[in-house]
Amino acid sequence: MPCDILNNRLLLIDDDPGCRRVIKKMAESMGFEVVATDDADCFVKKARNWGPSVITLDLMMPQADGVQLLRELAADKCDAQIVLTSGADGKVIQTALHLGRERGLRMSGTLGKPVSVAEFRALFAPLLRVTAKALSSELAAAITNDQLFLEYQPKLDCRLGQITGVEALVRWRHPVHGVIPPDQFITLAEGSDLIHRLTDWVVAAAARQAAIWHAEQLPLHVAVNISAKDLENLDLPDRLADCCRAAGISPATMTLELTETGAMREAVQMMDVLTRLRLKGFNLSIDDFGTGYSSLVQLQKMPFSEIKIDRAFVMNMVQDESCAAIVDIVLHLARRLRLKSVAEGVEDAMALDNLINMGCDEAQGYYLSRPLSADRIAEFVRGYAGTRVKSAA
């Protein structure tokens, strides 16, 4: 059944009637409204007046010049995603793609001939515009039907020079739209009670994976993000402790990360929940520290065990003295408050060297590793040979 979609219009020009029929049928099955033509004048008029979200353009047509049509689309400032189809030499197609981008067009890729269903869906699924209502209604089913999965970004202990922890990051493998990043569905979950189910799923999955690693003599610490909305629920500490108990691990194995803006809300109930999470044994981290409007008085009141420095400061600390100064100040604050310090966004060796010299406790970022699947984590940790490791994407 097609998803609830928003203005998904495909404009197709191809001189092969069979190819037009195949593409039209596949696109409509995904939820696109399709106009297909072999006439260049009709194509240009529709591109100007119909408002297509996606355009599929055959470069080699006896009656039309595909490169000229790209030029006209650029002149009209067309903002549709453009997919090229052609039987031409691969270098010619790549040059046409580059030409389109140079003219300011949104070139999404190429579709080979004959068109395969798998290739078509892989290319066009990310181009569907999906309403928040549709994703929100499907997220509940995704939690139930195992469409969610976790990836893990390694965290380096700066003193030991070893990988001792990971951050669990949730992803959604949608059957139509492919992998949906968390920034597109976490907000939807927070707008409903789904955030509680999502948090329970993530913590339970991360706890089970931690138990597997521990059984393999890989005692990794696991960090999980939680929402400020979660803290509005008084039974959160018991629910998350039950997740750990079911997996057979201690809550002390896990760190719950809360964004600074959420952590600094002034609410007695939030302090209640945070305190009981600490009493259960969980570690608590203020994520993205330095980007919100935090009060040091509130920070002193809250039972956090860790400060996580926002990536914006870490990524720019080598080139920007003010960013380096902020990182240094936050690290000094963490030491004085006896909190663990974690820097995210480490993307080069110099930044890592600076953090180590400044006394940062832990670091993570693409220089060490991109997020990895659970089965690759064990191999990465055991094969880690010091802190001079390039991205393991």
**Domains of the chain and CATH, by start:** 9-127 (3.40.50.2300), 133-383 (3.20.20.450)
Task: Read off the pLDDT band of 5 (50, 70, 90).
Answer: very low
Predicted pLDDT at 186: 85
Rounded to an integer, the average pLDDT of 237-256 is: 97
Predicted pLDDT at 360: 97
CA 289 – CA 341 distance, rounded (Å): 10
Predicted pLDDT at 251: 97
Judge whether 56 and 126 are in contact, CB under 8 Å. no
Least confident of 127-131, 168-172, 324-328: 127-131
Q: H or E segment at 285?
A: strand 283-289
Least confident of 46-60, 126-140, 295-309: 126-140
Nearest Cα residue to 373 out of 168, 139, 128: 168
Rounded to an integer, the average pLDDT of 273-281 is: 96
Predicted pLDDT at 216: 92
Judge whether 290 and 326 are in contact, CB under 8 Å. yes
> Whole-model pTM?
0.68
Q: Bigger pLDDT: 139 or 260?
A: 139
Rounded to an integer, the average pLDDT of 365-377 is: 93
Least confident of 20-29, 135-144, 300-309, 358-367: 135-144
Question: Percent of the chain scored above 90 by pLDDT?
Answer: 52
Judge whether 12 and 35 are in contact, CB under 8 Å. yes
Which strands make up the sheet holding 9-13, listed edge to edge?
33-37, 9-13, 54-58, 81-85, 106-111
Predicted pLDDT at 392: 37
Is the pLDDT confidence value at 298 over 70?
no
- The tokens describing 3, both together, are 């998803």
- Give the start-end residues of each E strand in 124-244: 148-157, 162-174, 178-180, 221-225
Predicted pLDDT at 1: 33
Task: Read off the pLDDT band of 357 (50, 70, 90).
Answer: very high
